[in-house]
Structures are given as structure tokens and as C-alpha cells.
Amino acid sequence: MGALAVSNVLLWVVIVALVIVVLALSRQIGVLYERVAPMGALTVDKGPEVGEQAPTFEMNDILGRPQTVGLPTEHSQLLFFVSPTCPVCKKLLPVLRSIANTEKKWLRVMLASDGEMPEHLAFYKEAKLSPFPYLLSTSLGMSFHISKLPYAVLMDETGIIRAKGLINSREQLESLFTAKELGVASMQDYLNQADKDGNLKEVNVSRKEKTNAMAG
């Protein structure tokens, strides 16, 4: 019995030690998460710069509805370039639907691509993209110098480009909105400048958390 009691005590000591180690590691992970800067959308093209007037277009979308790009409107415009053969584009469609709904007070989401109408019309119907205007235009992509997908351009109500970049996740897409709010060209520029100045602001709060906080 004595040996059994000793073994039980040792077992509990090991368990308590493991719990302490796990709690310590969890705390360190939390600290690292707070310190890691958000990954913003990557700007790799040489098209119109942030702060410049966007190229302007008046055209019909894939269903024949008149649309404008870069012209003054009541809302900001998010022009999201996609392709029916782009798997990442398809992965982000639910994110676009969510953002189009949560940000609808100030933002309108538009999809853009080029190619043959039948392929895109089939993609439009299969992916159930009816909530979005879908622009099919080679000149549109050329004007913004789009070379990789998916790519997004955020324009304000006056048609000025406020942010842009390659998008592979919801966080990168929302980084465009954060860049617009901070008045910077990109999160990379903001973080680089803040690192030089030594006054990095807290930017790790997601837009979802901000929305919940405002609702509360």
C-alpha cells in the first residue's frame, strides 16, 4: 500500500507539473499572437497607385445591367478580380458574400474577369453570384494591370484608389479596409513606418470584433 500511495502522489505531481507547463505555453502563445503583425494584402503590380484616381468605366455586367467603375458613387467600391478556373477565388466567394452583407452600409462588391461569355455565365450561375455585378472586360483588367488572381482594388466614393493587393484570405481582404481607415497605402507600408517611428498602433482587432463591440 505504501508503494501505491507514493506512486499516486508522484503521478499527481507529474499531472500538476504538466498543467503548469501547458498554461505557461498557452500564455506565451497568446503573447506572441498579440505581437505578430497582421498579414496584409500583397501589392505586386505596377498599375494605378493608391491615392490616384481609378480608371473609369461605364459598361453592362454579365446580365446586361449598367454599371460604373471609378466614377463618383454613394458607396465605396471593391473590385474583385476572379476566374472560373481559380480555386482560391472560389474559396473566397463565401467571404465576399459575408463582407458584402456586413459592410453594405458603405461598400459595394463587384466581380470582374475576362474571357468567353458562356464560361463565365455558367460560373456565375453555378456559384450563385447573383448578389454581385459581374463585369467581363479585358480592358478593365489591363487598366488596373492585373496579372495574378485573386486581386482586389478598393475605391472610395469619389473613385480614388484607397487600397489594393493579392488576396488569399479573409484577413488579407479586410486589411484593405483597415488600410483605408488608417489612410495608408497598405498594411506593409503602415507597419514599416510604424516600426521606424516606434509607435505601432494596435491593429490586430478583427473587423468582426469591432462590429461586435460597436453592437454591444
Q: Which residue ranges make up each domain of the chain?
A: 1-36, 57-215
Amino acid 168 reads: N
CA 95 from centre of chain: 9
Q: Is the torsion defined by CA of 184, 186, 189, 190 positive or negative?
A: positive
Encode pLDDT of 43-61 as tens digits.
665 789 999 999 999 999 9
Under CATH, what is the fold of the domain 57-215? Glutaredoxin (3.40.30)
What does DSSP say about strands 151-155 and 134-136: parallel, antiparallel, or unpaired?
unpaired
Asked whether the whole model's pTM tops 0.75, one would answer no
- Of the given ranges (29-33, 68-72, 153-157), which has the lowest mean pLDDT? 29-33
Q: Is 132 exposed, middle or buried (0-12, 13-18, 19+ CB in 10 A)?
A: buried
Predicted local confidence at residue 45, as pLDDT: 56
Distance CA 20, CA 144 (A): 54
Q: Write out pLDDT tens, residues 52-96.
A: 999 999 999 999 999 999 999 999 999 999 999 999 999 999 999
